[in-house]
Amino acid sequence: MALKILIVDDSITVRAVLRKALQITDLDIAGINEATNGLEALEVLESEDVDIVFTDLVMPEMSGERMIERLHRDGRIDELPVIVISSAGGTPRVDRLRELGVRGFVHKPFTPEQIEELVVEHTGAEV
Amino acid sequence: MMYYGQEIVSVIFLDISERLAFMFGDPVAKDRLRTGGARWVQAGVTFSGATAGCLTLGAPKDLCHEIAANILGLEPEELDDGLMAEDALRELLNVVTGHVVPGLQGEDEAFELSVPTFREMEDGDHDALLQDPNTIGYELDGSPVLLTLSLEADVA
Please give the full DSSP string across A12-63, using - where no structure is assigned. HHHHHHHHHHHHTSS--EEEEEEESSHHHHHHHHHHS--SEEEE-S--SSS-
Q: What is the pLDDT of residue B153?
A: 63
CB contact under 8 A, A91 and B111: no
- Residue A12 pLDDT > 70: yes
> CA–CA separation, A10 vs A37, rounded Å?
6
State how far Cα B138 lies from the chain centre.
Answer: 10
> CA–CA separation, B54 vs B48, rounded Å?
9
Q: What is the mean pLDDT of residues A25-36?
A: 95
- Residue A9 pLDDT > 70: yes
CB contact under 8 A, B111 and A10: no
Candidate from A86, A92, A109 with C-beta closest to B19: A109
Mutation target to probe the A interface, by most A beta carbons within 10 A, among B51, B83, B112 is: B112
ipTM over cut 0.95: no
> Domain residues of chain A, as ranges?
3-123
User: Is B98 part of the contact surface with chain A (CB cutoff 8 Å)?
Assistant: yes
Mutation target to probe the A interface, by most A beta carbons within 10 A, among B12, B48, B95 is: B95
* Chain B residues near residue A97 by CB distance under 8 angstroms: none
Contact of A85 with A14, CB cutoff 8 Å: yes
Contact of B33 with B131, CB cutoff 8 Å: no
CB contact under 8 A, B107 and A108: no
Q: Which chain B residue has the Cα nearest residue A87?
A: B98
Digit-by-digit pLDDT tens for chain B (156 residues) are 566 678 889 999 999 999 999 999 999 998 888 877 788 999 999 999 888 999 999 999 999 999 999 999 888 777 777 788 999 999 999 999 999 999 988 888 888 999 999 999 998 888 899 999 999 999 999 999 999 999 986 444
Which CATH number does the domain A3-123 belong to among 3.30.390.30, 3.40.1280.10, 3.20.20.70, 3.40.50.2300?
Answer: 3.40.50.2300
Interface of A with B (CB under 8 A): 10-14, 16-17, 20, 58-60, 86-93, 107-109
Q: What is the mean pLDDT of residues A20-43?
A: 96
Q: Which chain A residue has the Cα nearest residue B105?
A: A90
Contact of A48 with A33, CB cutoff 8 Å: yes
Q: What is the pLDDT of residue B31?
A: 85
Please identify, in words, the CATH class of the domain defined by B6-151. Answer: alpha beta
Q: What is the pLDDT of residue A118?
A: 96
Q: What is the pLDDT of residue B123?
A: 81
List the end-to-end C-alpha distance of chain A, in Å, as a whole number. 11
In chain A, the percentage of residues whose pLDDT exceeds 70 is 100
